[in-house]
């Protein structure tokens, strides 16, 4: 597991500490759970099975596709 240094506001820290206290979990677990929830909502790799034309059958990151096309210029 990697460690990162992040800056949070006092309000954010207070909310996280309160959640940790209520759930009886370490603060690190609360932060990891929040990051997991954020990452699971990420739609960068969207399901393309229902599309046609240019995007049919592609499971490519939309920004990766854009970068690849621009690199062709």
Element (H, E) at 42: none
What secondary structure letter does DSSP report for 45? Answer: S
- Hey, what are 43's tokens? 């739609």
Please enumerate in sequence order all residues whose Cβ is within 8 A of that of 29, keeping only pairs 6 or more positions apart, or say none.
20
Q: What is the pLDDT of residue 8?
A: 93
**Average pLDDT, whole number, for the chain?**
81
User: Mean pLDDT of residues grouped by 10 in the chain (73 residues)?
Assistant: 90 95 95 87 61 64 75 84
Q: What is the pLDDT of residue 65?
A: 74
CB 50 within 8 A of CB 65: no
SS (H, E, C) 57-70: CCCCCHHHHHHHHH
């Amino acid at each position: 597991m990697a460690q990162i240094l992040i800056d949070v506001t006092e309000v954010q820290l207070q909310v996280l500490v309160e959640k940790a206290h209520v759930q009886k979990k370490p603060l690190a677990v609360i932060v990891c759970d929040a990051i997991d929830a954020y990452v699971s909502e990420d739609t960068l790799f969207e399901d393309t099975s229902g599309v046609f034309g240019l995007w049919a059958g592609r499971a490519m990151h939309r920004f990766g596709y854009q970068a690849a096309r621009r690199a062709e210029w």
